[in-house]
Structure 1
Amino acid sequence: MVNCCGLITAQKEPVPLQSIDVRVEVRDHVATVVSTLNYENKEDKPLEAVFVFPLPGDAAVCHFSAEIGQKHIVAEVKEKQQAREEYDEALSSGQQAFLLEESAESPDIFSLSVGSLPPGESASIRLEYVTELAVQADDGLRFCLPAVLNPRYQPQGSEGPSVQVSSVPASQVPYSLSFSVQVSSPRPVSKVESSSSLEPLQYLNTDQTQASVKLAAGHKFDRDVEVLIYYKDAHQPTAVVEAGQTSAKTGTLMGDPVVMLSLYPEFPQSVMSSLASCGEFVFLIDRSGSMECPINNSNPQETRICSARDTLLLLLKSLPMGCYFNIYSFGSSFEHIFPASVEYSEKTMEEALKKVEGMSANLGGTEILQPLEHIYSQPCVPNQPRQLFVFTDGEVGNTKDVIDLVKKNAGSHRCFSFGIGEGASSALISGLAKEGGGHSQFITGTDRMQPKVMQSLKYALQPAVQDISVTWDLPKKVSATVLSPPITAIFQGQRSLIYAQLTGQSSEAAEGTVMVKYTLAGHPSQNQLHFSLKPAEDTGLTVHKLAARSVIQSLELEERAHRGQQHDEVKKKVVELSVHSGVSSSFTAFIAVNKDNSEPIQGPLVRRNIPTPFYGRAVPMMAMCCAPAPFADCLPITHDVQFLTSYADEEPEAAEIQRDPLLQLVSLQKASGCWLLDAHLAAVLGKSSEEVEKSKPAAVKEEVYATILALIWLHGFKLDAKEEWELLSVKAASWLHAQNAPCVSECVEAGNALLGCSVKKEALGL
């Protein structure tokens, strides 16, 4: 009989983890996160508590310590196998020990083992990491505390070993979360938003450059905690020089100063106004069972797959004439609409849309590697740059293999990725875009997928930046060694980060200049930034840790690419840098042993798996208990298809949902950009066919008037959704220009009178 005092899991086992307290300090676009996990053993036997949880994929975990009674133990970074052996040895000799390790398969999953917690004992674990904040399309900086760990699908036949992860529905999570953010920046903080309930924003000074915000009480673990921070004049380039660690040797990464440059290239308006009219657009859509989950719990009818279908409609209507495209979908197997990419025309667009309408989340697991391999095996279309758009809820176990494949093919394409719903793997979504020279977006909470995807399509249609080079102008005795991977993609208004180690002596007043040169649409261009070499104060080695993480990730990619002759050499470099910098890697772990135990802890240890919340509707108990994550001790895998068996008998509710009038209007547009004057258009406009026909000026072609009516309706009634229809309205305006139609002003006047609008001709691009 289990003693059910205190917090218990769905399996009626006590949970030693009582609460998690997270404090985030944001400085400009870097976050330092301190998580304190409070444990208490309320049972009558000693425990080992194992907690598998997500972290941001590019987080640099840089501190791990434990507080037991009056004793404070700081963990050391050691080679992973050595750390595990020390942990096992400590437990077997009755000592307390703590082990924190990163998953070998995915850098956004960690395992924390708290060993030999005696009856009645409490322990407080402190975990610290630093992470860069990604810039969103609307210039917000996104911080995400992953709270939801969905089961990661492990591909069939893969070697990925796993530990058991106890997952429970969000409503049954037996521990509490408190969360606060403090923001400081050289520029005023204009607002802070979140998908979770926050207490009101508090400004800490009169110029509003410092602010704090807290998570409102009663947070439900049904979502990741996402915070969007907006600064005034967000696009200012910045440089932070950080002094080296006094105890570290000069000439090493930790001993020398490191500079972090944040650049925002601005392109000439003349180039940006001419979006590309060519390209090969390949859309890869996740159709695994979990895509049947709702995007958010407030609107359960809006499933991930429904939103993906609507988004594909907008994308297909917005593509330029003369480009090429194809659509792949995947689950345990994959399908493609055309054997190879086809030229975009009315016929091919209609054929694709028919197939898209029939897409459902019925393809089982999440085997994303195979369709990617197939896409890359297809020859590129000459003079049509390949642009890959990947839509997934990102629950895969072989993240590193997928990212390696994209990096290997980065020279032939750009990759834009979209993480759909709570718990999408940040390592996968961000990694795809980073290694594929594209841009990543996350669709969570009440976000609509469409505006985010259309923003990425605009990026994809921007002319590709070529011949990127970075040059430095520094004082005579100072040199810079760049620690970041080379910049491979630059988009208008998007940030590029560069880390560099500065060697040599300079005066406090010295200055440096960095210049980024590139070719854009055949024109040479450049952006430069002047910065002071005087080190900033109170940065807590944040820049060094982020730079070390950047180098470690590059070395890990290199190690996987050269398995064989250079494997041991590169792995040795990773371990050395990880130990030297105190930053986690896939080859190291944090280990802390309490060697001051006055008496060995007696009795066999009882293992308690701390449950992690997953997102979604009710699932079978078997799937709930066995939700996998890729870790060391081999256990059977629960596949996505099994995970979703509870959905099998449910009828889709999509047919009952009234289609959005905007999407109805979009669905009627032809590939060329025009609309037809028919009963379907009249119905969307809320008029009868007779009313529409009667209002048409006599000398005007039906398609011309229909297209002007559609544009007036979009500007008059859907201006708040302009991001979604902007590209297809540009296409419509181009079509109208090509018609050399007479009486355009008369048509606009008649259309305004019919629809009760007052839209100016110039606003329509005419």
Structure 2
Amino acid sequence: MTVPILPLPDVAPSVPDAGLGALATERGNLPLDSVDIRADISALVAGVEIAQGFRNPFDVPVEATYIFPLPDRAAVTRMRMEAADRVVEGTLKERAQARADYDAALAAGQRAAIAEEDRPDVFTMRVGNILPGEHVTVRLTLHQPLPYEDDAATFRFPLVVAPRYIPGTPLPDEQAGDGTAADTDLVPDASRISPPVLLPGFPNPVRLSLSAGIDPGGLPLGEIRSSLHVVAQEGGDSGRTAVRLQPGERLDRDFVLRLGYAHAGTTAAALTLSPDGPGEPEGPGTFTLTVLPPAGRAAPRPRDVVLLLDRSGSMGGWSMVAARRAAARIVDTLTDQDRFAVIAFDHTVSTPTALGPGLVRATDRNRFRAVEFLAGLQAHGGTEMLTPLLQATALLNGDDTAGRDRVLVLITDGQVGNEDHILARLDPSLSGLRIHAVGIDQAVNAGFLGRLAMAGRGRLELVESEDRLDEAMEHIHHRIGAPLLTAVSLDWTGLDVDPDSIAPRRLGALFPGVPLTVSGRYHRAFADARATVRAVAADGAPWQQDTTTSVTPSTAATPIWARAHLRDLEDRYAVTGLPDLERRIVETSLRFNVLCRFTAFVAVDSRKVTEGHPTHHVVQPVEQPAGWQLPTAVPMSHPAPPPPGQAPPAAPAAAFGAPPAPGGYAASAESAPAAPPAGAPPAAPFSAPAPAPYGSAPTRGPSMPRGRSLLRRTGRPAGGSPAQDHSATPARPRTHQLLDQELKHLTTTATALSPERWQHLSDLRTRLLGITETARAEGLPAAPLLTLIQTLEITDDPTQQSRLEELWTLTVQTLTTYLGGTPSQSRERRPFWKKHS
């Protein structure tokens, strides 16, 4: 069989020797050496193995951290660590226990790895005690469903975590992760989802390989379209097709394969049963129910439509052009019986003054005014999304909306960090309305936008290029019209279904071209097992369809269901924070061995390979997302909105034009510092601190710059000023950061031999002299540190080592008290993944 493979529109040319990680510098390579992705696609399910290779180019043991994306609907079911002649299978455990096991292994000198989920599509891998010159490979196995809409299935695999806007007030305690953003009250794990970003122009990237074998599974496969350059196609009598990427592709965007399964001829309602084992044909097992929408289009009904358009800096360049076109196309589809409103937002909210407040009739004149307003929008500012969402839902929940379809269309790249906070605040206002999301980006935050669309019983449409917009808008036009079926419910016959297991929990409506897929667990199945789907048609008449039933063993059905069910539970937990939901999430995750926010995979090598914790900790920087670039200037705070008709003001100059620091890290901006004490020399206006030289002192935790890695889209913003999308957040005083690091060193050295500990205190006294000067410059008290320095003078005398424990305890007590804690206070990181933490 021969299947044409076509490029998706707007595919960038392949760049030899370009990619993420392992960049050759004067100080050696970064730890990530290779990323190998192998997918096996069968009909509408993909099994994927991703192998991450880490290499230690230094002469001391290293711990490497890599913040990376995975498909938001994928179920991670296995982790395996390979090093030298050792293969260690990972074990899924409750997250706190997994982290404790990992830390204990490193302290004992054992090699270990841990994989954690921070968002549905953002994960963190840590690999510790990699020996000098050693190569360690960590493999993850996952299963993901392929969305099937409009006669095409989509295999999407994200390759980079894009910078996200982090709102809120910085937290005073220790950072949860090793990223560049400070944790805040609204995003308590911001430091875990903000990897440092590579400056452009570095050659010799990581070796990226990606291949996909495609088995149509009996479905008629038409064309294949790819967002990146695919170089091979192998067809045979089996009907399989194999594709792989050209060498040199960057890890800077989503990889997308669109598979045309035209006219698949699927039954209108099909129920598939997958028993847990071959010897258990009657159950227990997992069911998958697929319902195709009826043919035709629903008659139009009066609608209230609110268009919410993101114009923040991350939407600059082609994204802003595509967003304006998308919104204008939706406005053009409205009729005189519809009402609408248009809201644009960055860190401020604006509406067309010519239309007035509230919903207005979609007359020709009003539609023209709306399109005129949209044409003038430019990208700048931060992404404050909650306020405009609440404003939009308030319009749709007004007293005069009875009998009308209420629709909210959000057009954005979704690059925000406070997803849980937004969903929790928005949830009470979602009853009776639908939210459709249009994700425009080559590295979109699909995890959040999918959660939002599901909560609003709507659809998510991804647009990865401007040229694909026309196709996507045709789909969106059908979605915002009246649904074909509403009030969907299920009745079961001959199948003992666990009602609490059904995912999604909200069945929503059926739209043209979009099947409804429901999965869940059953205890027992009988010969007459079937489901009856009931709904209300667009004309108000009852609609009913009985399913055909088949039994098909599948290793992917249960983990895919488990991931969908866990996502439902996690979204409910984000809204309520109930401890019972936390318990159910952990139990479900461990029972079905599927990773979630409350669990983690940990692999510990039983062999001791070194003495204690690794000397260096390296956070792997990631590629800039395609179409983004570093700004030449960074505003210290959100600028005031410009007057109508004027371009946004230029931001003050910042130190992003300086040569990059060794190691290829992007400079990270701190927010404006507090006013200096009286008599202190004035600080340079908003100078970004340079990262520590690569390969020097540990770059972990508070010692890292805590501002945002600020990026903007490629494209000229209004007035020539940079399109700014992320504002910096205040960091902790440098004194506190340094003392926090010293406390960590004291903790990790507490079990060392007495002579080594004595020497550590002697060296600490010298370092405290420098920290005291930093404290004075920051207007912080220096007396407690000076007293401790004077006490530690005794460490110059080796004959006084009998006082080691006394001095050690005093040092820990003094530094802990200075930082605002107590000597007995645990230095462990807080459980940032819990809502009530």
TM-score for the superposition, normalised by structure 2: 0.68
**Which residue of the partner structure matches residue 587 of structure 1?**
598
Distance change in 2, residues 1:554/1:646 (3 Å): closer
Shift of 1:100: 0.6
Q: Aligned residue for 1:571?
A: 582
Distance in 1 (CA, whole Å) between partners of 2:531 and 2:498 is 10
Correspondent of 1:355 among 351, 373, 379: 373
How much does 1:557 deviate?
2.0
2:502 to 452, 476, 483: 483
Alignment partner of 1:314 out of 303, 323, 329: 329
Change (3 A) 1:544 1:646: closer
2:478 is the counterpart of 1:458: yes
Q: Does the 8 Å CA contact 1:619/1:646 hold for their aligned counterparts? A: no
CA distance in 1, matches of 2:483, 2:713: 45
Distance of 2:393 and 2:327 partners within structure 1:
21
- C-alpha separation in 1, matches of 2:546 and 2:235: 33
Amino acid at match of 1:531: T
> What's the CA shift string for 1:135-183, capped at 9, x where partnerless?
34x4211111111221011113342231451222676472121111112
Q: Which amino acid aligns with 2:234?
A: Q
Query: Please, which of 383, 400, 404 is the counterpart of residue 366 of structure 1?
Result: 383
Is 1:545 aligned to residue 559 of structure 2?
yes
Say which of 416, 433, 441 aligns to 1:396: 416
Give 2:362's aligned residue. Answer: 344
After superposition, give the CA deviation of every residue in 1:735-760 in whole Å (9 maximum; x if it has no partner): xxxxxxxxxxxxxxxxxxxxxxxxxx
Question: 1:75 and 1:458, CA in 2 relative to 1: closer, same or farther beyond 3 A?
Answer: same
Aligned to 2:570: 556
Residues 406 and 211 (structure 1), Cα distance of their counterparts in 2 relative to 1, 3 Å cut? farther
- Distance in 2 (CA, whole Å) between partners of 1:528 and 1:200 is 43
Q: Is the 8 A contact 2:329 2:473 kept in 1?
A: no
Q: Given that residues 405 and 482 in structure 2 are in contact (C-alpha distance below 8 angstroms), is that contact kept between their aligned partners in structure 1?
A: no
Residue 191 of structure 2 is aligned to residue 181 of structure 1: no
SS of residue in 1 equivalent to 2:307: strand
Note closer, same or farther for the CA distance 1:505–1:390 as it changes in structure 2 (3 Å cut): closer
Deviation at 1:543, TM superposition (A): 0.9
Per-residue deviation at 1:612? 1.7
Distance 2:102 2:308 in 1: 43
Alpha carbons of structure 1 residues 583 and 218: separation in structure 2 relative to 1, 3 Å: same
Of residues 21, 43, 58, the one that matches 1:43 is 58
Is 1:286 equivalent to 2:306 in the alignment?
no
The separation in 2 between residues aligned to 1:458 and 1:438, in whole angstroms, is 12
Tell me the distance in 2 between the aligned counterparts of 1:112 and 1:473: 45
Deviation, 1:637, is 5.6
1:216 matches 2:246: yes
Alignment of 1:69-468 (within 5 A): 69-103=84-118, 106-136=119-149, 138-157=150-169, 158-159=184-185, 160=187, 161=189, 162-163=191-192, 165-168=195-198, 172=202, 174-184=205-215, 185-205=217-237, 208=239, 210-234=240-264, 236-237=266-267, 238-244=270-276, 256-267=284-295, 269=296, 272=297, 274-276=299-301, 278-293=302-317, 303-337=318-352, 338-362=356-380, 364-378=381-395, 379-380=397-398, 381-445=401-465, 447-463=467-483, 465-468=485-488
Paired residues of 2:165 and 2:416 also in contact (CA < 8 A): yes
- On the 8 A contact 2:164/2:415 being kept in 1, the answer is yes
* TM-score (norm. length: structure 1): 0.74
SS at match of 1:233: coil
Alignment partner, residue 679 of structure 1: none
Deviation at 1:213, TM superposition (A): 1.5
Q: How does 1:603-752 map to 2 (within 5 A)?
A: 604-615=614-625, 616-620=627-631, 624-626=666-668, 638=707, 642-644=710-712
Q: Is the 8 A contact 1:399 1:427 kept in 2?
A: no
User: For residues 222 and 491 of structure 1, what CA distance do their matches in structure 2 show?
Assistant: 33
Contact residue 316 and residue 349 of structure 1 kept, 8 A: yes
Secondary structure of 2:594's aligned partner: coil
C-alpha distance in structure 1 between counterparts of 2:265 and 2:410, whole Å = 27
**Partner amino acid, structure 2, of 1:585:** C
Distance 1:33 1:112 in 2: 17
The whole-number CA distance in structure 2 between the counterparts of 1:292 and 1:188 is 39
Quote the Cα distance in structure 1 between the aligned partners of 2:567 and 2:128: 29
The whole-number CA distance in structure 1 between the counterparts of 2:531 and 2:717 is 61
Match of 2:544 among 523, 526, 539: 526
1:188, distance to aligned residue in structure 2 (A): 2.8
Q: Could you tell me which residue of structure 2 aligns to residue 746 of structure 1?
A: none
Deviation for aligned residue 1:412: 2.6
**Counterpart-to-counterpart distance in 2, 1:625 and 1:236:** 53
Spell out the pairing of 1:504-515 with structure 2 (5 A cutoff).
504=524, 506=526, 510-515=527-532
Q: Are the structure 2 counterparts of residues 202 and 108 from structure 1 closer, same or farther at C-alpha, using a change threshold of 3 Å?
A: same
In structure 1, the partner of 2:180 is none
Is the Cα–Cα contact under 8 Å of residues 7 and 18 in structure 1 kept in the other structure? Answer: yes
Counterpart position of 1:33: 48
Distance 2:409 2:379 in 1: 18
Cα distance in 1, alignment partners of residues 57 and 278 from structure 2: 44
Q: Aligned AA for 2:286?
A: V
Report the Cα distance in structure 1 between the residues aligned to 2:341 and 2:116, rounded to whole angstroms.
41
Unaligned runs of 5+ in 2: 1-20, 170-183, 632-655, 671-699, 722-837
Deviation, 1:11, is 9.2
Q: Is the Cα–Cα contact under 8 Å of residues 36 and 208 in structure 2 kept in the other structure?
A: yes
Paired residues in the alignment total: 608
Contact 1:96 1:116 in 2 (8 A): yes
Deviations 1:546-603 (A, max 9, x none): 111122112212222223xxx2221111111111111111111111111123x43467
Q: Extract unaligned runs of 5+ from structure 1.
A: 1-5, 294-302, 654-766
Equivalent position SS for 1:595: strand
* C-alpha separation in 1, matches of 2:227 and 2:472: 16
In structure 2, relative to structure 1, the CA distance for the partners of 1:29 and 1:239 (3 Å cut) is farther
CA 1:12/1:511 → structure 2, altered by over 3 Å: closer, same or farther? farther
Aligned equivalents of 1:307 and 1:479: distance in 2? 45
Give the superposition deviation at 1:648.
7.8
RMSD: 3.0
Instruction: Check the 8 A contact 2:70/2:123 in 1, yes or no.
Output: yes
Aligned residues of 1:148 and 1:422 also touching (Cα < 8 A): no
Give the counterpart letter for 2:147 in structure 1: A
**Separation in structure 2 between the aligned mates of residue 627 and residue 146 of structure 1, nearest angstrom:** 26
Q: 1:400 to 1:468 in 2, by over 3 A?
A: same
**Structure 1 position 259, deviation (Å):** 1.4
Pair 13,266 (structure 1): closer, same or farther in 2 beyond 3 Å: farther
